Amino acid sequence: MKPIKVGLLGLGTVGGGTLTVLRRNRQEITRRAGREIQVAMAAVRDLNKAEKHNGDGLKLTTDPFDVVNNPDIDIVVELIGGLSPAKELVLKAIENGKHVVTANKHLLAKHGNEIFAAAQAKGVMVAFEAAVAGGIPIIKAIREGLTANRIEWVAGIINGTTNFILSEMREKGLGFDTVLAEAQRLGYAEADPTFDVEGIDAAHKLTILSAIAFGIPVQFDRAYTEGITRLTGEDVKYAEQLGYRIKLLGITRRRANGIELRVHPTLIPEKRLIANVSGAMNAVLVMGDAVGPTLYYGAGAGAEPTASAVVADLVDVTRLATADPHHRVPHLAFQPDALQPDLPILPMEEVETAYYLRMRVADQTGVLADITRILADSNISIDALMQREPEEGEPSTDLILLTHETLEKNMNAAIARIEGLGTVQGKVTRIRLETLGK
């Protein structure tokens, strides 16, 4: 059987890793796919830099449209990232009847609905395992391995940069700015780290996971996103003293009135496995009604971990390329006509969770009573309380409260009243808390 011909858009970190894995494991991959997968063409920015990848008849070009318009190419692998020209290239490849493999979470979070609809109409596949959590096969796990389950919720550490920063803050007692500079020096963080530290990258990935878990269209514009830039070493320390770790979590949960879709720093009990995921690693916890909680852990980025997911998609597409398009695994797990576009994404004020609150208060009688009265007025009950002993002559101290679950709008109202007290200095620090139990 003749080889499947692949065209790569990009020969950078992931593209180079994909080519390396395909060449090194050629025999094993061919045995699994049923035919050889051969990279026939690649689009690159710099032909001189790409010369090191030459061999096996690989043709190089600086025009990516040469690849998507090449009639000999069966599968286009998009690894250039961003929205443009990636969107135009992917849609052109689909229009030309080519299958697409992509690692571009930004593209799918923003334009996935359009891309999947175009692929469905043309009878081709769009595979995107590498778009979420690098080498962890989380897309396949939810879309296929857990297909018997009604998914209740998904919670994930899906950005390695922020997990590295939070791990270093906890383990070394350093501040955010210091650790961010170290992450940039080590190559974990970009020169402009906004997408990572503000939670945008995690929200792109969570949007895709939510669509697959619940059979809804991708809706990135409705995701609540909050990053880690305002976290302090004090909060990391206090959380530890209370038996919790702080992680940037992406959480999507099925509720009776809609779907939660949110990314934010979160306190997690230290006994949970996911709370102990350190460094730049990723982990995703999925709760199914039949299987219960399942945890997926591994490298969320890097040349060969991500290439592992890209090549797995290439094998899947190769196996199914000749299958009836109507009987392939659907892009978003559910058959296209069975998606629920009317299932609402809940606004953040309608989300129900527990909270960590830290406030600077005057060291005087009656302060705690005033604060607990305000919380009670909003139907918020306290789960735990910690007050730092003030130093000799110090007029104020830190008060830390953990609450039971309540609606975000109730907490917003309570915090506004607490900040209005003359005995409370400055703003109340609020971090959401999830036990990640059933």
3-state secondary structure at position 207:
helix
Closest CA to 128 of 98, 99, 94: 99
Separation of alpha carbons 177 and 187, rounded Å: 15
Separation of alpha carbons 38 and 23, rounded Å: 9
Number of H helices, E strands in the chain: 15, 17
Separation of alpha carbons 147 and 140, rounded Å: 10
In angstroms, how far is the first alpha carbon of the chain from the final one? 49
- Strand partners of residue 286: 154, 294
The residues that are catalytic are 205
Helix 303-320 with 13-24: angle, nearest 10 deg: 60
Do residues 376 and 388 both lie within one domain?
yes
Q: Is residue 345 part of a domain?
A: no
Q: Is residue 343 part of a domain?
A: no
Closest CA to 179 of 164, 191, 190: 164
Q: What is the pLDDT of residue 206?
A: 98
3-state secondary structure at position 113:
helix
Separation of alpha carbons 167 and 68, rounded Å: 42
3-state secondary structure at position 239:
helix
Q: What is the pLDDT of residue 327?
A: 73
Q: Is residue 344 part of a domain?
A: no
Do residues 317 and 202 both lie within one domain?
no
Do residues 91 and 165 both lie within one domain?
no
DSSP-derived letter for residue 272 is: S
What CATH number did the domain enclosing 21 receive? 3.40.50.720
Q: Is residue 68 part of a domain?
A: yes
CA atoms within 13 A on the CB side of 406: 22
Write the DSSP assignment of 118-154 as a string of letters: HHHHHT--EE-GGGSSTTS-HHHIIIIITTTS-EEEE
Instruction: Residue 282: count other Cβ atoms within 10 Å of its Cβ.
Output: 26
Q: Which portions of the chain are predicted below pLDDT 70?
A: 322, 438
Q: Is residue 438 part of a domain?
A: no
Rounded-to-5 percentages of helix, strand, coil across the chain:
40, 25, 35
Residue pair 74/101 in contact (Cβ under 8 Å)? The answer is no
Do residues 309 and 385 both lie within one domain?
no
Do residues 288 and 154 both lie within one domain?
yes
Residue pair 416/371 in contact (Cβ under 8 Å)? The answer is no
φ, ψ (nearest 5 deg) of residue 113: -60, -45
- Give residue-wise pLDDT tens across range 275-293: 999 999 999 999 999 999 9
Do residues 252 and 322 both lie within one domain?
no
- What strand order describes the sheet that includes 4-9? 59-61, 37-43, 4-9, 75-78, 99-102, 126-127
Residue pair 89/64 in contact (Cβ under 8 Å)? The answer is yes
Q: Is residue 326 part of a domain?
A: yes
Do residues 118 and 187 both lie within one domain?
no
Do residues 264 and 142 both lie within one domain?
yes
- Give residue-wise pLDDT tens across range 88-99: 999 999 999 999
What CATH number did the domain enclosing 371 receive? 3.30.70.260
Do residues 117 and 146 both lie within one domain?
no
Q: What is the pLDDT of residue 331?
A: 83
- The residue whose two tokens read 């010369």 is 51
Do residues 105 and 199 both lie within one domain?
no
**Longest Cα separation, the chain:** 83
- Cis bond upstream, residue 395 (ω within 30): no
The tally of domains found in the chain comes to 3
The token duo for 381 is 């009950």
The token duo for 330 is 């659907």
**Where is 194: in which H helix or E strand?**
helix 194-197
Separation of alpha carbons 79 and 56, rounded Å: 20
Do residues 145 and 128 both lie within one domain?
no
Domain span at 160: 138-298
What CATH number did the domain enclosing 159 receive? 3.30.360.10
Q: Is residue 346 part of a domain?
A: no
Separation of alpha carbons 154 and 364, rounded Å: 43
DSSP-derived letter for residue 339 is: -
Q: Do the strands 352-362 and 396-403 form a parallel or antiparallel pair, or are they unpaired?
A: antiparallel
The token duo for 282 is 């990723």
Q: Is residue 121 part of a domain?
A: yes
Do residues 158 and 292 both lie within one domain?
yes
Please, where are the H alpha helices in 300-407?
303-320, 367-377
